[in-house]
Structure 1
């Protein structure tokens, strides 16, 4: 594991490895490298940007390598796909089924995963009223994070 990760992200990495083992899924060295890169990112990251970073430490990496790793992590709930930007973000509370809500900064690209029971219950109630069964739920809100709000506006 890369020691460039913060302590909290190192803990998350170890939890992800253990979670995979508990699920009978192989957390291979290549998948570990991909997951480390995802954890290092504050913003979500596209598959080809992920590939570029992976190639710096794994010369033989190709697009299918990254897509297979992402599919593996998506299937286990270790990663979320940010649909509006076609990018990926490591999930920080995997192992449970949960609705996904993102706050996405359009200036710096930071993505915050939040959980709002109010949003979930309202959507579930409206779905029930319309005889609709929700299979998965991802809500994405675009705007400006607090850090970017404090930066001077260049005109």
Structure 2
């Protein structure tokens, strides 16, 4: 499990390239159109392992585009990316993070550092199974699940 670039170094450019390649293949397979703007928004979301807000994305876009994008444009791109399973919305932060495995339907569980905001998506069948069992017992039908666990990552827990 990757917590952040400082405590667990890795080739982050590989993360971005892999996410964009997966997005292209997934959209093509689903007959969805990954426009240049949607692709650029996805790339901006993947710039770090920290959730990014729509207005932060808007500010980054305005630095890279000849014309300024409007908030509805960014929200439409994020809605598309979320519908395709390419990003997740972190409700507690009102922000978005890239999904490392969009080709597999899954329930989302996240570890979120309260200090540095580094966020890790957990791929844990035990959590999904527990949620499924609890809902089966109660007869509740889940449309969407998003478990957010907050605390301190190993880097932020280290004493100075």
TM-score by length of 2: 0.88
**For residues 100 and 134 of structure 1, what CA distance do their matches in structure 2 show?**
13
* Residues 94-141 of structure 1: CA deviation (Å, up to 9, x unaligned): 022101000000000111000221111112111111111122211000
The question of 1:139 aligning with 2:139 is answered no
Partners of 1:133 and 1:18 in 2: CA distance: 31
> Which residues of 2 match residues 6-155 of structure 1 at below 5 A?
6-58=13-65, 59-152=67-160
Shift of the alpha carbon at 1:87? 0.6
Q: Given that residues 61 and 68 in structure 2 are in contact (C-alpha distance below 8 angstroms), is that contact kept between their aligned partners in structure 1?
A: no
User: Where does the alignment leave 5 or more consecutive residues of structure 1 unmatched?
Assistant: none
Structure 1 stretches of at least 4 aligned residues deviating more than 6 Å after TM superposition:
none
Tell me how far 1:151 sits from its aligned partner. 4.8
Higher mean alpha-carbon deviation, 105-114 vs 25-34, is at 25-34
Segments of 5+ residues of structure 2 without an aligned counterpart are 1-11
Deviation at 1:31, TM superposition (A): 1.1
What secondary structure does 1:41 align onto? coil
Listed one character per residue, the Cα deviations across residues 3-54 of structure 1 (whole Å, up to 9, x for unaligned) are: xx61232122112112111211111111111111011122101110111111
RMSD: 1.5
Q: Whole-Å Cα distance in 2 between the matches of residues 81 and 62 of structure 1?
A: 20
Show the counterpart of 2:8.
none
Aligned length: 149
